[in-house]
Amino acid sequence: MPVAVIVGGFFGDEGKGKIASYLAVADNPSIAVRCGSINAGHTVSHMGKTWKVRLVPSFFINPRTRLMIAAGALIRLDILFKELNETGVKGRLFIDFNAGVIEEKHVEAERNDVFLIGEVGSTLQGVGFAMADRVLRRLKLARDFEILKDITTDVSLEVNRALDNGELVYIEGVQGTFLSLYHGTYPYVTSRDTTASAFASEVGIGPKRIDEVIVVFKSYVTRVGGGPLDNELPYEEAKRLGLVEIATVTGRMRRAAPFNIDLAKRAIMFNSATQIAITRLDTLYPDAKCIREWSKLPQDAKMWLERLESTLRIPITIISTGEDTICTIDRRIELGLKR
């Protein structure tokens, strides 16, 4: 499995950071590349410590993994250096020289845009205006900043060389399929495509290089900001069921709804998914908390997963039963998908 892409199946917030951090430990990848921008936060909990990262790949907990940020990504210098200090990855994180840089003018412009504030519910991080400047060919890139000269590289070249050598590479996608600028619930979407093929393009690898696409679904659906959410639960009902969450980047409460089979099928189609990861199983089934073996799952939780797998016709390989990396069931060996 030289290349695997991790992609969100709903509207973001699926727990991709948890899945990525588990795979960092379980699979020991040579390289992990983060796509997207600072409007997507991933939470990593490992050995009693928690980090919330918006640029550093969630694979950083493996000290042997080289960390990279893709050419198609957008960075912000203050957040980048803050995370370098917090995660202790200085010296092993590198940025593609063509990655875009968000400046304060982009943040200010977004915070003064009435449509983005009210109608869309943007995270107001400057990402949309920076992307617009990129399309207009006036955005500054990482190569234009002297302060970044020691950590810029040709990510595409490094990744393709690693693949030629048979090394394992993970691409960490952001947000979720239905926030895609092209395939999502437009205009209530983000400023980029958020499907697996787009992330491969951001990194600079061809589609034939991709061996696995792991689509991550939470055991229920959440979204932040405006836009449709089928079967949305009233706040009191979501609270009663334990589904109320706070967004990593914005601090806003996430809207919640039950698992959506139709959206899941469509996400599988868009991404050519080969595997499914399920997170927050322990929220639906508290008795599953931190169980690490399939055979020890409560029967009702196991039956729900089996029905889901049968309906979606894609193997459910990774199951998160808690926030920490160790609280994970990995079925890949028993399903013949990992040696």
Q: Are 224 and 250 in contact (CB under 8 A)?
A: yes
| Rounded Cα distance, 248 and 156, in Å | 29
| Rounded Cα distance, 255 and 11, in Å | 11
- CA distances to 28, 256, 281 from 292, rounded to whole Å, are 19, 27, 12
Tokens of 241: 């069921």
Q: Which of the following is catalytic: 27, 42, 46, 324? A: 42
Active site residue 42: yes
Sign of the C-alpha dihedral, residues 234, 235, 239, 240?
A: negative
Active site residue 300: no
Torsion of CA 198, 199, 204, 205, to 10 degrees: -90
Kindly tell me the number of DSSP H helices and DSSP E strands found in the chain. Answer: 11, 16
Q: Which of the following is catalytic: 13, 96, 193, 324? A: 13
| Rounded Cα distance, 199 and 203, in Å | 6
| Residues with active-site annotation | 13, 42
